Amino acid sequence: MTAPRVWLGTDGIVHVDYSAVGVLTLAAVKAEFEFRRSLVPGKQLVMARLPGIWRVDVEAATFLATPEVSRHTLAEAGVVQSSLGIAALRVFELYHPPPFPFRIFGSEDDAKEWLLGLEVSGGITDQDHPTLRTYW
């Protein structure tokens, strides 16, 4: 398994780069989660770059929707450039919807704008948070 790169940006967003990953596996998402938890112990805004993604394993999708991940995630934006990646994330979002705001973008600038524009005083205030279904 190739581990994703994880870093904290000057914008306060935790950046996760899955460039070397085609299949989002449980091992990859657990490694990413541990990396970002060690960077920022509290809740985080997360931007995941998924340029070559074509499949999300069921175990990975299930883990990403757990209360443990939710306790550390304010919102997550995924950046995908391929139609196959969009389809993989649509299936993920449909069958394992994250319990936090989750949205897919075609560019990092749009993802960053959305993440930084969320109201995060004590948590996301928008109960009907935008999801992949409402964005596309």
CB 60 within 8 A of CB 91: no
Q: The domain that contains 13 carries what CATH number?
A: 3.30.750
Q: Name the pTM for this structure.
A: 0.84
Of 26, 80, 72, 28, the C-alpha closest to 54 is 80
Q: Can you give the residue range of the structural domain that contains 22?
A: 5-135
101 or 96, which is more confident: 101
- Quote the strand ranges of 21-79, DSSP E: 23-24, 44-49, 55-56, 73-79
pLDDT over 50 at 70, yes or no: yes
Q: 60-64, 101-105, 121-125 — which is least confidently predicted? A: 121-125
Which region holds residue 123: left if phi is over 0, alpha if psi is between -120 and 50, else beta? left
Name the DSSP letter for residue 39.
H
* Tally of structural domains, the chain: 1
Looking at the DSSP assignment, which residues form a beta bridge with residue 46? 14, 76
15 sits in which H/E element:
strand 13-17
